[in-house]
Structure 1
Amino acid sequence: MESDKRLSETHIMVLPFHSQGHINPMFQFSKRLASKGLKVTLLITTSSISKSMHAQDSSINIEIICEGFDQRKAESIEDSLERYRIAASQSLVELIEQHSRSNHPAKILVYDSILPWAQDVAERQGLHGASFFTQSCAVSAIYYHFNQRAFSSPLEGSVVALPSMPLFHVNDLPSFISDKGSDAALLNLLLNQFSNFQKVKWILFNTFTKLEDEVMNWMDSQRPVKTIGPTVPSMYLDKRLEHDRDYGLSLFKQNIDTCITWLDTKEIGSVVYVSFGSVASLGEEQMEELAWGLKRSNSHFLWVVRELEEKKFPYNFVEETSGKGLVVSWCPQLKVLAHKAVGCFLTHCGWNSTLEALSLGVPMVAMPQFSDQTTNAKFIEDVWRVGVRVKADERGLLRDRK
């Protein structure tokens, strides 16, 4: 009884970076904490997002944190991130102080690892901090080594050898490292994850030990770390949380009935599910090549394409393939991957999508676009052996091989 009372009095604030790929895993982690009797407050930057989080998780308190975006357009990524840091820091202080006057003052701040300034706020306000890494441990370790100058970019040799990981060719490394000039601001954002690595109380990774045991053991030798993944809704894992059937958050309109009804008409393992996430954008030539490849294949396909991207289709593609394919602007990915009709997943290899496919046993065709996706693809094919990676031509294009 005493331990239950202590749990109910423990208030944890959770601060994700303001994008769906970061919010989803941290929201799932919040659900699990709340299921143990802890008081959890999830801090979100816009009210429109919080309203889309279903009432299924009424045990989680959701509050709005200021993001610092006014009528003035940000001049650069650096400007945008700095404005967010200033505004969100002040807003976070105000929320912590507000709760300090309540019966349940916050005691712990779990923050997205790419927001290291949140640890400084936590310290000043007397809270313990926990850094939450939303990417794989392997990818995080690569950034750690790069930050420690264990290797440099451009590479001095053809491969990079790092402790407890396979050899990496340049196209296996995160794109912000392999193509260092592509976006210096985002690379700095990712390297700054380690600015307070030695002083934060807890370090959490959205992975599981059996998946990344060697690199996890190495990382644990640098600083004690904990795995809390995969952060997939309980319905698709251990079913411990009865009503945890989805993430409870989508910034996009979902075609739930359309997708599932269509899949219900297809044979077991006959459908190729194609999705490149909410950020990646294929070039027009690549879109055409992929479209013709799917059209000429012997498989049904379900292809998620954002509305703004549909103009890149070959002329009359949707109409001509309506007998074998379905194109939608969004869909309930977990339900799709869990459907018996889906035989493989053509994916950009975002970490959340990778964990979902691994958890549901769906083989992958890896077509990484940028960031950590190239490294995830390396592990999918060469380490975990749960998929194959597409082979691009000298221009980086996947071609329809007739």
Structure 2
Amino acid sequence: MAKPHVLVIPYPAQGHVIPIMELAQRLVNHDVKVTVVNTEVTHTLVTSNAFENDGFSDLLQLVSIPDGLQSSADRTDLCKLTRSILETMPGKLEELIEKINKEDSNKVTCIIVDDCMGWAIKVAKKMGIRRAAFCPASVTTLTSMLSCPNLIADGIINNNGIPLNQQMIKLSETMPLIKPTNLWWTRFEDLPTVEAFFQVVKEAPEAYRLTEWHLCRSTIELESGALNLFPQLLPIGPLLASNRRADQVGHFWQEDSTCLAWLDQQPPCSVIYVAFGSFTIFNQTQFEELALALELSDRPFLWVVRQGMTKETTAAFPDGFVERVGSRGRILSWAPQQKVLAHPSVACFVSHCGWNSTLEGVTNGLPFLCWPYFADQFQNEIYICDIWKIGLGFEKDEAGIIRRGEIKGKVEQLLGDNTFRTKATDIKEKVTSSIREGGCSHKNLSNFIEWIKEKDISCQESN
């Protein structure tokens, strides 16, 4: 008997692939066939770093299509990558769907598209396939995208997404004000990249109109104001692997799980966990200041220093640093982050505030020290520090460096005031209740899965 067959398409970045893989596994657990469509480079990374117990099954297959760039091209050049995706991948996706429908007895019945790949909604519409959009970022990030026509009409941004003044933006009465420079597509270093990503942003409102379901990886408890602005947005978050027995899947780097045994040896609520995601890059001065701050903290720390984290070829620790901190510090290239954050030894999370990391920290009741790098991370910091009040930010000096004394002082302030931990624990309880049976996120995801399984529904729709 034919099963519903869902195609899911993430943007080719770590913070997008992991959550959509989580959603894919939820569907598989409900007897839905899922094909995950990555770019060729992302496909290679994900499959080469998968463990045997990563939870893949006969109902979950991974395929790839080209992103249009040469194999040797620098895919950290987000401007070039984004423009190439928009030019190349729509046609390649259509070819893939035609091939699947020709060769597979389970034809594609639905497509779930990352909001940053909104062009794929048009492909699905053209081919008569049912469609849903998935936002891996915060609802606030999505509402700023959906509001961009109004922002242009009101003279707040121009047609290339550039803010025209510094007036604070009010999207609704129930949402915090947004700095124009915190609109996520403006938080890149160069103008061409900003303009390239704004082409993605401008696709979102039209894709939204063509979408039957719009799923958000958040909860009412975290972002009620943003969800009230667009009631059609359905929260299904946090959508984390720690809510299941299976390990998290979709990593670009191999996890080093030996750190869990090291954490077992540390006292409860003692470890500073430091991790900045897959994109953050430090200059050597900033890297050394962070290292020396961890040394001065006199606390155990677990620090993720991935390959390419500094502008130099290899991150250079201060002279004698590794020897001086000894076993008090554990440094690794990539961590099983959800398991780390759930460990009772961890006291706080020094984070770049990507939405994955934000949800993982919140779900484990941890206070934050916020160190955003780009995109939506600055607005996430606002929520952590000013709205939820479960973290602190850092101040840079006149040279743009966060110095060791500032870092050490904020660590002491955060861990010396139990209010942060208390508020974080309270939010954890509210968020986790949403994903339990009977909770809002649980109901929304269950209803969506039932919709996928509905029979005899015509896929042909009018505009």
Q: TM-score normalized by structure 2? A: 0.77
Q: Does 1:344 align with 2:355?
A: no
Could you tell me how far 1:154 is from its partner in structure 2?
A: 4.0
Could you tell me how far 1:85 is from its partner in structure 2?
A: 3.6
Give the 3 Å change call, closer, same or farther, for CA 307–52 of structure 1 in structure 2. Answer: closer
How many Å separate the matches in 1 of 2:178 and 2:37? Answer: 37
* Gap runs ≥5 in structure 2: 407-463
What one-letter code is carried by the residue in structure 2 that aligns with 1:256?
A: S
| Structure 1 range deviating more: 343-352 or 30-39 | 30-39
What one-letter code is carried by the residue in structure 1 that aligns with 2:364?
A: L
Give the 3 Å change call, closer, same or farther, for CA 79–159 of structure 1 in structure 2. Answer: closer
Could you tell me how far 1:51 is from its partner in structure 2?
A: 4.5
What one-letter code is carried by the residue in structure 1 that aligns with 2:196?
A: A
What one-letter code is carried by the residue in structure 1 that aligns with 2:168?
A: V
Q: SS at the partner of 1:391?
A: coil
User: Which of 214, 222, 226 is the equivalent residue of 2:225?
Assistant: 214
CA contact (8 A) 2:132 2:213 kept: yes
Matching residue of 2:260: 260
| Structure 1 range deviating more: 356-365 or 189-198 | 189-198
Matching residue of 2:177: 167
How many residue pairs get aligned? The number is 385
- Deviation string, structure 1 residues 87-131 (Cα, Å, up to 9, x no partner): 432332222222323321111111111112211211221102212
CA contact (8 A) 2:188 2:375 kept: no
CA contact (8 A) 2:185 2:197 kept: no
Could you tell me how far 1:54 is from its partner in structure 2?
A: 4.3
Q: SS at the partner of 2:331?
A: strand
Q: SS at the partner of 2:8?
A: strand
Matching residue of 2:215: 204
Q: How does 1:227-306 map to 2 (within 5 A)?
A: 227-233=235-241, 236-237=242-243, 239=244, 243-244=245-246, 246-257=247-258, 259-306=259-306
What one-letter code is carried by the residue in structure 2 that aligns with 1:57?
A: F
Matching residue of 1:32: 26
- Deviation string, structure 1 residues 29-80 (Cα, Å, up to 9, x no partner): 0111111221211112234223534452213122222333335747975543
Give the 3 Å change call, closer, same or farther, for CA 387–155 of structure 1 in structure 2. Answer: farther
CA contact (8 A) 2:342 2:364 kept: yes
| Structure 1 range deviating more: 178-187 or 334-343 | 178-187
Q: Does 1:358 align with 2:367?
A: no
User: Which of 163, 186, 194 is the equivalent residue of 2:205?
Assistant: 194
- Which of the pair is proportionally richer in helix? 2
Matching residue of 2:105: 103
Give the 3 Å change call, closer, same or farther, for CA 168–370 of structure 1 in structure 2. Answer: same
What one-letter code is carried by the residue in structure 2 that aligns with 1:119?
A: I
Identity of aligned residues (%): 29
User: Which of 359, 372, 388 is the equivalent residue of 1:368?
Assistant: 372
What one-letter code is carried by the residue in structure 2 that aligns with 1:17?
A: Y
How many Å separate the matches in 2 of 1:196 and 1:122? Answer: 11
What one-letter code is carried by the residue in structure 1 that aligns with 2:67?
A: E
What one-letter code is carried by the residue in structure 1 that aligns with 2:281?
A: S
How many Å separate the matches in 2 of 1:114 and 1:399? Answer: 35
| Structure 1 range deviating more: 134-143 or 350-359 | 134-143
User: Which of 334, 356, 380 is the equivalent residue of 1:330?
Assistant: 334
Q: SS at the partner of 1:80?
A: helix
How many Å separate the matches in 1 of 2:10 and 2:184? Answer: 21
How many Å separate the matches in 2 of 1:192 and 1:364? Answer: 33
What one-letter code is carried by the residue in structure 1 that aligns with 2:250?
A: L
| Structure 1 range deviating more: 99-108 or 208-217 | 99-108
Q: TM-score normalized by structure 1? A: 0.87
Q: Does 1:19 align with 2:20?
A: no
Matching residue of 1:41: 35
Q: SS at the partner of 2:392?
A: strand
How many Å separate the matches in 2 of 1:388 and 1:381? Answer: 6
RMSD: 2.5
CA contact (8 A) 1:28 1:247 kept: yes
| Structure 1 range deviating more: 187-196 or 263-272 | 187-196
| Structure 1 range deviating more: 355-364 or 389-398 | 389-398
CA contact (8 A) 1:271 1:300 kept: yes
Give the 3 Å change call, closer, same or farther, for CA 79–176 of structure 1 in structure 2. Answer: same
| Structure 1 range deviating more: 202-211 or 304-313 | 304-313
CA contact (8 A) 1:119 1:129 kept: yes
Could you tell me how far 1:376 is from its partner in structure 2?
A: 0.3
Q: Does 1:133 align with 2:135?
A: yes
Could you tell me how far 1:177 is from its partner in structure 2?
A: 5.7
User: Which of 385, 397, 400 is the equivalent residue of 1:396?
Assistant: 400
CA contact (8 A) 1:28 1:231 kept: yes
Could you tell me how far 1:332 is from its partner in structure 2?
A: 0.9
Q: SS at the partner of 2:109?
A: strand
CA contact (8 A) 1:177 1:187 kept: no
- Deviation string, structure 1 residues 190-231 (Cα, Å, up to 9, x no partner): 3432332222222111112221112101122xxx22112112
How many Å separate the matches in 1 of 2:335 and 2:71? Answer: 32
How many Å separate the matches in 2 of 1:155 and 1:394? Answer: 26
